[in-house]
């Protein structure tokens, strides 16, 4: 893995490429949070795709643009400065390496605890002139996005007739909720221009499912996100900087006994523009048992999964490679 002096990413032959141009996902479900039908539309989207787009989300645009510019300010620092905020073990700056088991991508990122009090000092030292500006940009954004995530989970619970309606959201509201936050920067990749001429694209973040309950993503106006449909084809999700994308994670798939699908997704590098994304990963407390919700199970219905705690799942996930099918270890045979 090579890193140039200027702090930009340079070519790295171990980063994967993929060669088929994906169709554009024009039929992506778009859900207006003010729509009385939103709960059933969300459930439908989570059953079919494991992903939907949220409009009328009430997260102030000002919080979004402020954090995006803080993030870019950080990613534009010299490499040596950024490295002082690394490695991401578990929180901090990372470049190209994803996780600890050999995965790489055309990406640099900051991984943060979604509990603002725990914003690691290591990360803040990089913002030594203005750590408070960064801290408040992160806090305001996370707070607003969490509020939306709780609402989404309550609507999903309503749509599935889960009782009480906070059965899912309370796991994220819990002060011990194990949630994290990630700022990603995918620099433009000129090499992939040549590669894409030969029909190949460089992978920014390799295919995977998210282990948590739900993920809330916002990106700038640069495409790159793709999801895998039930039939195995990949489609690219058109970027929309004013909306949020919500995806189902592994834990929610288990809690709904497989009804809602944890979607496989990936990000490809763009040849022209840099992509910035910010993602809140809502997870339960470490001690939480991850089992299908009783109010959702039919009379004779049995769990498709063996019982496990979030801590057990997380430990197992962090030992896996990005593309692994992590739920496989927990399925009943
Ligand atoms: C995918 C979702 C989140 O980005 C993340 C990722 C984590 C990491 O980047 O350290 C993991 C990946 C993610 C799943 C499998 C393991 C852990 C990298 C990896 C190879 C922060 C998370 O929670 O799981």
Residue 266: helix, strand or coil by DSSP?
strand
pLDDT class of 6 with cuts at 50, 70, 90? very low
**Whether the CB of 182 sits within 6 Å of ligand 1:** yes
Q: Residue 16's pLDDT is what?
A: 78
Give the position of tokens 């060669």.
19
The pick from 113, 213, 315, 322 for probing ligand 1's pocket by mutation, whose C-beta has the most ligand atoms within 8 angstroms, reads 322
Q: How far is the CA of 318 from the centre of ligand 1 (A)?
A: 7
Neighbours of 294 (CB within 10 A): 9
pLDDT class of 4 with cuts at 50, 70, 90? very low
**Whether the CB of 322 sits within 6 Å of ligand 1:** yes
DSSP state of 117: G
pLDDT, tens digit, 9 for 90 and up, residues 227-276: 999 999 999 999 999 999 999 999 999 999 999 999 999 999 888 899 99
- Exposure string of 231-269, with b = 16+ CB inside 10 Å and e = fewer, is eeebbbbebbeebbbbbbbbbbbbbbbbebbbbbbbbbb
pLDDT, tens digit, 9 for 90 and up, residues 209-234: 999 999 999 999 999 999 999 999 99
The answer to whether the CB of 192 falls within 8 A of the CB of 7 is: no
Q: Which two tokens stand for residue 21?
A: 């141009």
pLDDT, tens digit, 9 for 90 and up, residues 134-182: 888 999 999 999 999 999 999 999 999 999 999 999 999 999 999 999 9
Q: How far is the CA of 99 from the centre of ligand 1 (A)?
A: 6
ipTM over cut 0.90: yes
pLDDT, tens digit, 9 for 90 and up, residues 81-129: 999 889 998 889 999 999 999 999 999 999 999 986 666 556 666 665 6
**Whether the CB of 103 sits within 6 Å of ligand 1:** yes
* Ligand 1 atom with minimal separation from the 103 CA: 20
* Ligand 1 atom with minimal separation from the 322 CA: 20
Neighbours of 72 (CB within 10 A): 14
- The fraction of the chain above a pLDDT of 90, given in percent, is 78
Nearest CA to ligand 1 atom 16: 318
Q: Which of 64-68, 79-83, 119-123, 326-330 is predicted with the least confidence, judged by mean pLDDT?
A: 119-123
**Whether the CB of 70 sits within 6 Å of ligand 1:** no
The CA distance from 170 to 285, in Å, is: 10
Q: Residue 308's pLDDT is what?
A: 98
Does pLDDT of 51 surpass 80?
yes
* Ligand 1 atom with minimal separation from the 210 CA: 2
Catalytic status, residue 84: no
Q: Which two tokens stand for residue 255?
A: 């809690």
For residues 44-66, average pLDDT: 98
pLDDT class of 130 with cuts at 50, 70, 90? confident
DSSP state of 331: B
**Whether the CB of 325 sits within 6 Å of ligand 1:** no
Q: Residue 1's pLDDT is what?
A: 35
Q: Residue 192's pLDDT is what?
A: 55
């Amino acid at each position: 893995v090579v890193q140039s002096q200027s702090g930009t990413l340079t070519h790295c032959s171990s980063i994967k490429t993929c060669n088929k141009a994906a169709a554009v996902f024009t039929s992506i479900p778009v859900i207006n949070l003010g729509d009385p039908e939103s709960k059933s539309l969300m459930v439908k989207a989570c059953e079919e795709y494991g992903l939907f787009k949220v409009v009328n989300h009430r997260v102030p645009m000002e919080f979004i643009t402020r954090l995006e510019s803080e993030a870019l300010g950080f990613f534009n620092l010299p490499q040596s400065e950024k490295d002082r905020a690394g490695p991401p073990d578990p929180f901090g700056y990372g470049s190209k390496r994803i996780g600890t088991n050999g995965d790489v991508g055309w990406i640099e990122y900051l991984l943060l605890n979604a509990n603002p009090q725990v914003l690691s000092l290591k990360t803040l030292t990089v913002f030594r002139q203005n750590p408070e500006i960064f801290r408040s940009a992160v806090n305001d954004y996370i707070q607003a996005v969490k509020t939306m995530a709780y609402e989404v989970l309550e609507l999903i619970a309503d749509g599935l007739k889960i009782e009480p309606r906070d059965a899912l959201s309370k796991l994220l509201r819990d002060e011990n909720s194990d949630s994290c936050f990630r700022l990603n920067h995918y620099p433009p990749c000129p090499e992939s221009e040549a590669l894409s001429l030969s029909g190949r694209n460089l992978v920014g973040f390799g295919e995977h499912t998210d282990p948590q309950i739900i993920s809330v993503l916002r990106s700038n106006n640069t495409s790159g996100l793709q999801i895998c449909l039930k039939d195995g084809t990949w489609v690219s999700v058109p970027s929309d900087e004013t909306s949020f994308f919500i995806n189902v994670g592994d834990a929610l798939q288990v809690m709904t006994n497989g009804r809602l699908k944890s979607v496989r997704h990936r990000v490809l590098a763009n040849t022209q523009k840099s992509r910035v994304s910010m993602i809140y990963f809502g997870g339960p407390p470490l001690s939480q048992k991850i089992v299908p919700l009783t109010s959702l199970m039919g009379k004779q219905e049995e769990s498709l999964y063996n019982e496990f705690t979030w801590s057990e799942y997380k430990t197992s996930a962090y030992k896996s490679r990005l593309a692994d099918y992590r739920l496989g270890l927990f399925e009943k045979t």
